[in-house]
Amino acid sequence: MKDFFYAIQDLFVNILFAPLDALRALELENWWAANLVSWIFIVVGMVAFVYWMLQLKSFNDNKEEDKSITSHSYL
């Protein structure tokens, strides 16, 4: 049973966390390269936000949005 838990430890420490160890070593050499993934996620999030706002504006301009003020039927 102890070998099972050592196998799980070995899987996570030596295999699954290897990319994170590589990023940690890369950060000491070049901060920009180590944070490239973060910058990519920030850019993708900003593009998605702008697209979402443009879609909301187009629905608002076409008067497709139902803005009637109603409460829930159970109130």
**CA 9, CA 68: separation in Å to the nearest integer?**
57
Q: What is the dihedral of CA 58, 63, 64, 66, to 10 degrees?
A: 130
pLDDT for the residue 14? 93
Confidence (pTM): 0.58
pLDDT for the residue 41? 95
Model confidence pLDDT, tens digit, residues 6-45: 999 999 999 999 998 998 898 899 989 889 989 999 999 9
Regarding predicted confidence, which is higher, 46 or 63? 46
What is the number of H-type helices and E-type strands within the chain? 4, 0
pLDDT for the residue 74? 67
Burial 9-44 (b: 16+ CB within 10 A, else e): eeeeeeeeeeeeeeeeeeeeeeeeebeeeeeeeeee
